[in-house]
Amino acid sequence: GALRNIATTKHNLEIMIRRSNSTAATNKVPEMTVFSKSP
């Protein structure tokens, strides 16, 4: 639903912010795995 999409987008933004803040964590954060489409 729309709310789930918004939550996913918000989470994605948070991860991107963390990645930009600490580049070393990029390899430790599989952001694509987090967004597996679960019901």
Q: Which sign, positive or negative, has the C-alpha torsion 29, 4, 36, 38? A: positive
pLDDT digits (tens, 9 = 90+) for 1-39: 889 999 999 999 988 888 776 655 555 555 555 555 666
Tokens of residue 19, six digits: 């990645």
Q: Indicate yes or no: pTM above 0.85.
A: no
Cα(36)–Cα(24) distance, integer angstroms: 23
Cα(15)–Cα(9) distance, integer angstroms: 10
